[in-house]
Structure 1
Amino acid sequence: MSSRERVLAAVAGVAGIAAAATLATPGAAASGRYQHWDDTAYRGQIEVVRSADGPSDPTVLNGTVFVDRDRDSRHDRNERGLAGVEVSNGREVATTDSRGRYRLPVYDNMTVFVTQPAGYQVPVDEFNVAQFHYNHLPAGSPDLRYGGIAPTGPIPDAVNFPLVESRLTDDRRLSCIIAGDLQTYDLDEVEYARKGAIADLARRNDYQGCGSLFVGDVVGDDLSLYDEVKGLTAQTNGPARFLPGNHDLDFDATTAEHSFDTFRAQLAPAYFSYDVGNAHIIALNTVRYPCTPELDNADGLRPECDDPVNRPRYNGAIDATQLEWLRRDLAKVDRDKLIVIAGHIGLLNWADEGSAIHQVDQVREVYSLLHGRKAVALAGHSHSIENLRTGDSMQGWRDLFGVQSLPFPHLTVGAIAGDWYSGQVTEAGYPTALQRDGGRPGVLTLDLHDSSFQERFTVTGESDRVQTQLGLNSPTYREWYVARSAWNRNPVGAAPELGDPLVVDQADLAGGTWLTTNVFMGATGSTVTVRLDDGRPRAAVRTQAMQGEDQLVGPEWSDPVAVAEQLVHGGSVADRTMHLWRFALPADLSPGTHRAHVTATDIHGRRFTDSLTFRVVASR
């Protein structure tokens, strides 16, 4: 086997023994409760009622939230209205009365949506896309390449929101799929997603109650691909919901007011909320486009926003209207509920901790609104996997936003696209696409139990047992890293070759060689132990302490398995990661074949084992 083949094999989980968890995953235990999704799904749409005369007061929108007993999406006389349900126009939040009725002020450009209550399910269309909102834009969008919102005309007499009773959405134990950055730029990439993560989701039935939330960058700038995305969600087994990302923009919109019109027309409101079990899930729009110097760069930290006419850019931000809606929405939520707050650009993240535009300007305002509540933040955007825990701290958060440490966990969920579908195409029909942190593509599952949660990452094409990636970081590797990086910038002559990455010589050992363990959902509180051959287990050391320091970047802090693939076959380079552990190999390790047995224990006490066989030689 050549060195190139060894690297690809390691990426595919062949070079070492696949990691095996000693605890069953929560979703696997729960899957027996579910019937076939197509047999139980509530398919329908909202009811828009119009008359020739129109409403008596066009400044007010009326409607009813009702239990659709016959599942025809029409509010029949014998179907009861549901009291105590929240309905919003994106500004105000109304609560339905004893007959399920609501009243909301009308604005020229608004999206009206219902907050699904636990114990009930909103309808889904034939593609499993949740149907719970109505766009009101009388004259329609300005001229946009991808259409935007067609003219809706005057306000209707009523917008009624049908629901059906659902035991699944009120279960004490629920699994929620949180899918990051599908980000398909063309039909080839749609097929990569179909053969990869979507095929995995099609085989799972443990998320019917909560469904899937795609946290932005649903497509890659070409909004005509939304129809293809719906074809993908049609294969999943639960309601599909979406929030917008910076590649879901109407880039020809000249103001932020219309920058997500096509997204709103095709998929979902720009922001909304829903309840499942004892959790309140909030989907935010954290992308402002085009950003402007007055609103986004008053402090001088976002010069990208200084020329919105000639060089329009986006910024991580929540506008004042949405922030006020968030305050009103949270005011309706019992304080014992878990708040799951999701946005495309994370409130804060690790990969871009030193960048203002790739985090959310209003992070401290959001923290203030959530003060005293049990919460977890979810995000995509950075094409990395991050399990940030309460108390974690980084220099960039302090310098840019004045945040000393995280008040609750923040999870960056990885990307279905991985590193933008880069790398070699595997036999399974999708690319390796190793992410910026060396993690493999996949989806995150949030397992809810009452108001508690556990997170788990599922690598595309693998079981939940695969949670680690093992490699060797030696002086030979580090020298090759520098040489190959330089050659990639100026490819003259033959490319430097790494050789066999699982062979080290005694000079490598003397110069410092580490066995590296990339624990995809590794976090503060996780541990890694290494047992060499028949020796005793010894602790490995995490490379990034998360104690207020800056990022550690470079070959000595990199994941050698990922980098060996990325520098040769393209994509980002995993020259930093917050979930890498290193174990120094003894300088006097004897020549011959050795086996490292690795045990990673996550913060929930779940243990995962993996092993790596390597060889020591006297000299290369």
Structure 2
Amino acid sequence: MTKYVRTNRNPLLAGIGITAALGLCLSPAVSAEARPAEKSPRQTVTDAYTGHVEVVRGTPEKADVLKGTVFNDRNQDSKQDRGEKGIAGVTVSNGRDVVTTDGKGRYELPAFENMTVFVTQPAGWQVPVDENMIAQFSYTHLPKGSPDELKFGGLEPTGPLPKAVNFPLAKSKQTAKAQQNCPIASDTQIYNLKERGYAREGAVKDLMERTDYAACGILLLGDNVGDDLSLNDALKDLYKHANGPVRTVMGNHDMDYDATSDAHSNDTYRRDFGPGYYSYDVGQAHFVVLDSIEYPKPGGKARQYNEKISQEQLDWLAKDLANVPKNKKVIVATHAPIVDHRFVIVDNAAELYKVLEGRDVVTVGGHTHTLEHLNAGGTRPEWAKDGVTKLPFTQLIAGAVSGGWYGGGLDSEGLPYAFAPDGSRPGVMTLNLDGNSLRERYTVRGESEQEQMGLGLNTPHWRDWAEKAQAWQKAKKVGEMPELGDERMVTRSELASGESWLMTNFYAGSEKARVEVSIDGGKSVPAVHTQPNQGEELRKGWEYSDTFAATRSLMTSGNVPQSGSNIWRLPLPENLAKGTHQAEVTGTDEYGRSFTKTLRFTVVDERPSLETKK
């Protein structure tokens, strides 16, 4: 069991006097975009090379059949030269049909308009990348281009079916290794260049400084930009110094909202990044990326969408998995998670689960900007009413690079603290794979892996203040902000009520995790997990808030968490003596990793008067 002990480095986030914290929130700061760009040279990646898919122009033998070869690009020039042999047994798909290459690496697929053809990278091989480290493994065939006049351009006409489309691969010892680190960067969601600066100086900077994911690369889990697809190039520039290939998922903010059909809602995305759904192998894991956004929503209003996996994708997925050994770990990545701690999100979740039945699966999503680990076997009435009586597979939700959409006050680094709806902080999830074993870890922006908790007191006084502060915000902050006083103070009468708790948001938590609290060096006492997914309904309200995050957002702006999958609480002992006390909180995740953090608080007879001095 690994144990980490953590102290706060950032005064705002340490929960020191609230006046000082608010001062830091509101103090002037140079915007992240205005800072001089730090040099971030492209790191040496052994197996990744700059290249592209080889499109051989000419007349095909059959107008409705696409042919090509998957080959060993030994000289890495993206062309199949004499002596460069084809690779047998590699999966290639047109998004409907799935075939494997013959002994000479050749494939044939039915051809149709508006198809994206892609190769499934096998373990032991690596697809090329472009100058921005975006993985190159697909070709889109759309002879006349996008049928709609799309604001952001869509797809230019590709012309007639080419004579062949060949997929270059390079041998890779790294992608063959059973041990892999696979960062999942969800919801970068830049709406403008200022937010690009926040991302660059925040969680993206952390990723660019890492050198541990060269083989697996980064998976951007959707909502990579915020509706303005002209920022796609700015997004690529953010990740171009990655230590491995960058692959993407399409989110609801990455699509062409002026498209008139779902078939073309991702045209600009396909132009800039590649197919909406595909698969690839790394180590002993099979990654499947699915498009979980249906747009336009049938019968819906303008800009409305469904979270849904299309039938075409479900049919393709069944064929894709037919080529995958049953004992192989399958990681299904979607922008909209299949479920979260509140409800089922994807409309046809039960149909997707049916296709995945009998497999060793973990699903990972973004979209909600929450950080969650929901274990297989969990039950909730909110899930059951949508046909999921028992969660069949573990669901991970990867947090967000943008946290709470870059909202809230600024911290001492000049970045929005951006607490998410569940109180989690901006960061990146990494999947650590070892054969079929998977462990995830979450790295909070600008922090070490030891930073895994938000701590605070939840008292009757705090709940009363929170209600008033939220009303003040809803009233557009007219008048004086309600005074809280010392957020780490509790009175004897509040202790006697039995309704004062020490709240812990354990970012690495799950139903199998535990949180224990020792006060003043005494015996450790287990805290209660507020949402264990054992048949209880959603527990939401001020009494279930992450007070650490909620306090700071109520004083400025941003999300005010009132529920979460990773919230634990412990009733404060009613007999605590007057004076200052120290709580040592230890969270142990389901993998046996322990993290410790302390919170000092004070017991008083009565609170000092909070009347504003005139």
TM-score, with length taken from structure 2: 0.91
The SS at the match of 2:384 is helix
Paired positions, count: 573
| 2:528 equivalent among 541, 544, 565 | 541
Q: What amino acid does structure 2 have at the position aligned with 1:315?
A: N
CA distance in 2, matches of 1:445, 1:493: 44
- Does residue 342 (structure 1) correspond to residue 348 (structure 2)? The answer is no
- Partner in structure 2 of residue 522 of structure 1: 509
Q: 1:222 maps to which residue?
A: 228
Deviation by residue 1:17-37 (Cα, 9 ceiling, x = unmatched)? xxxxxxxxxxxxxxxxxx943
Matched, 1:68 2:73: yes
Q: Give the Å deviation of 1:521.
A: 2.3
Show the counterpart of 1:406. 391
What's 2:572 paired with?
585
| Contact 1:67 1:81 (C-alpha < 8 Å) held by counterparts | yes
Counterpart amino acid of 1:44? G
1:7–1:564: 8 Å Cα contact kept in structure 2?
no
Once residues 260 and 228 of structure 2 are traced to their aligned partners in structure 1, the CA distance between those partners, rounded to angstroms, is 18
Corresponding residue for residue 295 of structure 1: none
Deviation digits for residues 244-284 of structure 1, max 9, x if unmatched? Answer: 00001100001111001000000120000000011000000
* Inter-partner Cα distance in structure 2 for 1:371 and 1:8: 53
Structure 2: distance between partners of 1:370 and 1:179: 24
Q: Which residue of 1 aligns with 2:20?
A: 5
Could you tell me which residue of structure 2 aligns to residue 440 of structure 1?
425
Q: 1:453 — aligned with what?
A: 438
Decide whether the 8 Å contact of 1:7 with 1:501 is kept in 2: no
Among 119, 125, 130, which residue is 1:120 paired with? 125
Deviation string for 1:498-532 (max 9, x for gaps)? Answer: 11111222122223211111001211110011000
Give 2:354's aligned residue. 368
User: Percent identical across equivalent pairs?
Assistant: 47
Give distance in 1, aligned partners of 2:532 and 2:187: 27
Report the Cα distance in structure 1 between the residues aligned to 2:465 and 2:560, rounded to whole angstroms.
Answer: 14
Deviation digits for residues 65-98 of structure 1, max 9, x if unmatched? 0011001111001101000000000000110000
1:212 aligned residue: 218
Asked if 1:200 is matched to 2:206, the reply is yes
Deviation at 1:350?
Answer: 1.6
Determine the structure 2 residue equivalent to 1:425: 410
Residue 479 of structure 1: aligned partner: 464
Tell me which amino acid in the other structure corresponds to 1:411: L
Displacement of 1:330 = 0.6
**Structure 2 counterpart of 1:267:** 273
CA–CA distance in structure 1, aligned partners of residues 316 and 261 of structure 2? 20
Runs of 4+ in 1 over 6 A off after TM superposition: 7-10
Unmatched 5+ residue regions in structure 2? 1-15, 26-41, 608-614
2:304 is matched by which residue type in structure 1? R
**Residues 419 and 434 of structure 1 are in contact (CA less than 8 Å); yes or no, is this contact kept in structure 2?**
yes
- The aligned counterpart of 2:556 is 569
Query: 1:172-211 maps to which residues of 2 (within 5 A)?
Result: 172-211=178-217
Q: Deviations 1:189-223 (Å, cap 9, x if unpaired)?
A: 11111000111011111111111111110100000
For residues 291-306 of structure 1, what are the structure 2 equivalents within 5 Å? Answer: 291-292=297-298, 306=299
Match in the other structure for 1:32: none
**Cα displacement (A) at 1:318:** 1.2
| Aligned equivalent of 2:546 | 559
Q: Deviations over 1:9-57 (max 9, x none)?
A: 89xxxxxxxxxxxxxxxxxxxxxxxx94356531111111113xx1121
Question: CA-atom RMSD, angstroms?
Answer: 1.5
Task: Indicate the SS of the match to 1:168.
Answer: coil
Instruction: Determine the structure 2 residue equivalent to 1:415.
Output: 400
Residues 243 and 343 in structure 1, CA contact (< 8 A), matched pair in contact too: yes
- Please say if 1:278 is aligned against 2:276: no
Aligned AA for 1:591? K
Instruction: Quote the offset at 1:7 in angstroms.
Output: 6.7
CA distance in 2, matches of 1:37, 1:284: 30
* Aligned residue in 2 for 1:326: 317
Counterpart CA distance in 1 for 2:572 and 2:169 is 60
Alignment partner for residue 149 of structure 1, among 155, 172, 176?
Answer: 155
Structure 1 residue 500 corresponds to structure 2 residue 490: no
Contact 1:212–1:241 at 8 Å: present in 2 too?
yes
Separation in structure 2 between the aligned mates of residue 459 and residue 385 of structure 1, nearest angstrom: 11
Asked if the contact 2:96–2:312 (Cα under 8 Å) also holds between the matched residues in 1, the reply is: yes
Q: Give the whole-Å Cα distance in 2 for the aligned partners of 1:116 and 1:583.
A: 48
Task: Give the deviation of 1:8 after TM superposition.
Answer: 8.4
1:393 paired residue among 364, 379, 396:
379
**Aligned residue among 219, 243, 254 for 2:249:** 243
Q: Tell me how far apart the structure 2 counterparts of residues 307 and 384 of structure 1 sit (CA, whole Å).
A: 26
Gaps of 5+ in 1: 11-34, 293-305
1:47 is the counterpart of 2:47: no
- Residue 134 of structure 2: aligned partner: 129
- Match for residue 609 of structure 1? 596
Give the structure 1 partner of residue 518 of structure 2: 531
1:5 counterpart SS class: helix
Q: For the residues of structure 1 that align with 2:68 and 2:443, how far apart are their CA atoms?
A: 41
CA contact (8 A) 1:148 1:262 kept: yes
Do the aligned residues in 1 keep the contact of 2:202 with 2:415 (CA within 8 Å)?
A: yes
2:300 is matched with which residue?
Answer: 307
Equivalent position amino acid for 2:52 in 1:
Q
What do the CA deviations read for 1:321-362 (whole angstroms, capped 9, x no partner)? 1111111001110111100001011111224x16xxxx1122
The answer (yes or no) to whether the contact 1:181–1:417 under 8 Å persists in 2 is yes
| 3-state SS of 1:411 partner | strand
Q: Distance in 1 between matches of 2:409 and 2:259?
A: 36
Distance 1:474 1:607 in 2: 27
> Which residue identity does 2:95 align to in structure 1?
G
Partners of 1:127 and 1:591 lie apart in 2 by: 60
